[in-house]
């Protein structure tokens, strides 16, 4: 009946939005943006699975027999067993609660258009086919299709693509992304558990038991010992009990047999291992490293493959002006004289403008601006007309210059682009801007900009190389640019790069071992790469700071997030570098190796 009703939903009038009756109709069918919280394993299951193990059952049986014969002083070993069990339960519940807090939608409210009026409502109250009104700074709460207007959207947290994307009528907006500029109306077509961001969240919340090779080894020892311990214990009891072939009474036989059997069970090793790791956690806390998973210290010490995200790990998220190539000598229009005035005129700030301000500074006096064109991803340039001087523009050369003028310097531009640089043209004209259109511009200088490599990244990468750790870079950005940045940071074989855009899962898996740098990678592909590396016997550590990294972080043997990154990345990671300092990594690895040695 439900499915039939769903097919008969009354169509939405995009001019007026849903009516009150249509909203109620959808709520009755459960077609709202509400999503159930919590991971895939309950606390009850965690407690049950930690208590009812072969190791614990064996110890409980021995303790029960000792209590039965009144040997209360001999059951102290149960304290160690209890401590081991409690540590395991606490660690798993802590991991579960951290994952349960994971939420990729931060906006508490959204604006909907219903009955020709705007309403601000809780995002969980949004229903299928609602018309959302999206404004700059707003997070998109459901997957939508634009019905009116044009917006620029920042999808970097979801896809890793650093540039804003222009969206027109008919284009899809992904939930979890942010509106940078513009205003639009958009119809919610996927809500709740069907939305893109909730699919990411659902995959990230799949419960995974903490990994530890030490604990696995100890459990294998217990299982092997367990095969022999029961028949050996029974034989000992038979040879000691006077009801068998021995001459000891029942209570003495139980105590003697229990003492021998308990000595065969390495229960103390479990506790000592946990205590050694706990000391490691305290030592790392002194080095600004938050350990969210006890056993990850050990796993990081065994890592042989490190997967890095570009932004926030190798680069610090800022840009630097590398050099200025003057194409025309004109003291009156020199970049160092005009660009400070241009930067003072523009109030919006981005990575490029911050780099230009760092290089040229701001004007000490208010510029006399007559016309201004702010930057947008559609135009690819910004421009300003100054009284008595003319018009000045900075942006992508092919969008600022005429085809003829661009052709004259195209080879020079392409040569710099091959070096992984971002090229801006500084162009001038003695005429003014009219009707938001540039006059014919003359190329004055090329401004070469590059990503800023973190000062600690090169030394840290060198440390991993000397310890035979294979370093790979996985990014949502252009693979050629990422490869150049990787080479500058000292990563070996950085020239082996590939774009994963449009590749099938099979092709992505096949590329995991062949290449060193991966570009245009979406969240699912990042996870596939990590999974394939693990399938080939690698112990993989993954660093990340965005929502687009969470699936790969969850899949990795050890995951490391920067405190300056997204809350979602911090919640799913085993380790959080509280000072966001990549150079802390060698200390973490050394601490793990100290523990397991």
- Report the distance separating Cα 560 and Cα 582, nearest Å: 10
Catalytic residue among 74, 130, 154, 309: 309
Please, which residues have CB within 8 angstroms of residue 185's CB and are 6 or more apart in sequence? 14, 113, 131, 132, 133, 134, 146, 147, 148, 149
Residue burial 44-78, b: 16+ Cβ < 10 Å; e: rest:
eebeeebeeeebbebbeebbebbeebebeebbebb
pLDDT of residue 395: 92
At 371, which helix (H) or strand (E)? strand 369-373
pLDDT in tens, 172-205: 998 888 887 788 999 999 998 888 877 777 666 5
pLDDT of residue 2: 41
pTM: 0.70
pLDDT of residue 1: 38
Crossing angle, helix 585-596 and helix 457-466, to 10 degrees? 30
- Report the distance separating Cα 130 and Cα 190, nearest Å: 10
- Closest residue by Cα to residue 470 from 525, 521, 530: 530
- Report the distance separating Cα 320 and Cα 422, nearest Å: 10
- Report the distance separating Cα 126 and Cα 564, nearest Å: 31
pLDDT of residue 331: 81
pLDDT of residue 86: 86
| Cβ pair 132, 142 in contact under 8 A | yes
pLDDT of residue 356: 93
pLDDT of residue 4: 39
pLDDT of residue 238: 83
pLDDT of residue 209: 60
Count of other CB atoms within 10 angstroms of residue 568 = 29
Question: Cα dihedral angle (118, 120, 126, 132), rounded to 10 degrees?
Answer: 50
Residues lower than pLDDT 70 in the chain: 1-8, 36-41, 95-96, 98-107, 156-163, 202-211, 243-244, 377-378
pLDDT in tens, 495-525: 999 999 889 999 999 999 999 999 888 888 9
Any catalytic annotation for residue 309?
Answer: yes
């Amino acid at each position: 009946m439900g499915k039939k009703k769903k097919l008969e939903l009354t169509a939405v009038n995009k001019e007026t939005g849903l009516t009150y009756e249509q909203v109620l109709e959808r709520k009755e069918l459960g077609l709202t943006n509400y999503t159930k919280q919590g991971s895939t394993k309950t606390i009850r299951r965690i407690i049950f699975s930690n208590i009812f193990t072969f190791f614990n059952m064996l110890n409980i049986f021995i303790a029960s027999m000792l209590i039965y014969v009144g040997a209360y002083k001999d059951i102290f070993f149960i304290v160690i067993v209890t401590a081991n069990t409690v540590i395991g339960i606490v660690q798993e519940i802590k991991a579960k609660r951290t994952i349960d807090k994971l939420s990729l939608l931060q906006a508490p409210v959204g604006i909907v258009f219903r009955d020709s009026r705007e309403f601000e409502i809780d995002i969980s109250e949004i229903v299928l086919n609602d018309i959302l009104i999206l404004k700059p700074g707003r997070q998109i709460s459901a997957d939508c299709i634009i019905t009116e207007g044009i917006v620029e959207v920042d999808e970097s947290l979801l896809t890793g693509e650093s540039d804003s994307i222009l969206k027109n009528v008919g284009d899809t907006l992904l939930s979890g992304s942010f509106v940078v500029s513009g205003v639009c109306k958009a119809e919610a077509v996927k809500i709740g558990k069907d939305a893109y961001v909730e699919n990411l969240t659902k995959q990230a919340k799949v419960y995974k038991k903490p990994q530890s090779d030490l604990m696995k080894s100890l459990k294998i020892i217990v299982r092997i010992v367990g095969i022999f311990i029961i028949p050996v214990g029974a034989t000992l009891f038979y040879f000691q009990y006077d009801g068998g072939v021995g001459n000891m009474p029942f209570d003495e036989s139980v105590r003697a047999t229990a003492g021998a059997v308990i000595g065969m069970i390495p229960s103390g090793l479990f506790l000592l291992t946990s205590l050694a790791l706990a000391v490691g956690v305290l030592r790392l806390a002194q080095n600004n490293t938050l350990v969210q998973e006890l056993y990850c210290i050990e796993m990081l010490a065994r890592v042989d493959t490190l997967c890095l995200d570009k932004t926030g790990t190798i680069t610090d998220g800022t840009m630097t002006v590398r050099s200025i190539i003057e194409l025309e000598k004109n003291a009156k229009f020199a970049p160092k004289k005009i660009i400070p005035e241009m930067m003072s005129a523009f109030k919006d700030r981005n990575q490029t403008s911050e780099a230009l301000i760092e290089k040229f500074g701001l004007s000490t006096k208010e510029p006399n601006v007559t016309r201004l064109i702010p930057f947008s991803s559609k135009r690819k340039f910004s421009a300003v007309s100054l009284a008595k001087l003319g018009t000045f523009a900075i942006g992508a050369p092919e969008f600022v210059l005429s085809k003829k003028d661009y052709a004259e310097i195209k080879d020079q531009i392409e040569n710099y682009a091959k070096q992984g640089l971002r090229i801006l043209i500084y162009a001038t004209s003695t005429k003014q801007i009219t009707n938001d259109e540039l006059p014919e511009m003359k190329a004055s200088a090329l401004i070469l900009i590059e990503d800023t490599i973190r000062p600690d990244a090169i030394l840290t990468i060198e440390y991993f190389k000397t310890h035979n750790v294979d370093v790979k870079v996985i990014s949502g950005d252009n693979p050629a640019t990422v490869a150049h940045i990787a080479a500058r940071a000292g990563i070996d074989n950085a020239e082996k790069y590939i774009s994963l855009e449009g590749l099938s899962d099979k092709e992505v898996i096949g590329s995991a071992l062949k290449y060193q740098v991966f570009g245009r990678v979406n969240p699912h592909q990042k996870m596939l790469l990590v999974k394939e590396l693990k399938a080939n016997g690698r112990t993989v550590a993954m660093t990340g700071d965005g929502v687009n990294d969470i699936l790969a972080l969850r899949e990795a043997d050890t995951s490391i997030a920067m405190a300056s990154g997204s809350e979602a990345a911090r919640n799913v990671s085993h380790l959080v570098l509280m000072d966001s300092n990549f150079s802390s990594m060698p200390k973490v690895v050394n601490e793990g190796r100290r523990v397991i040695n």
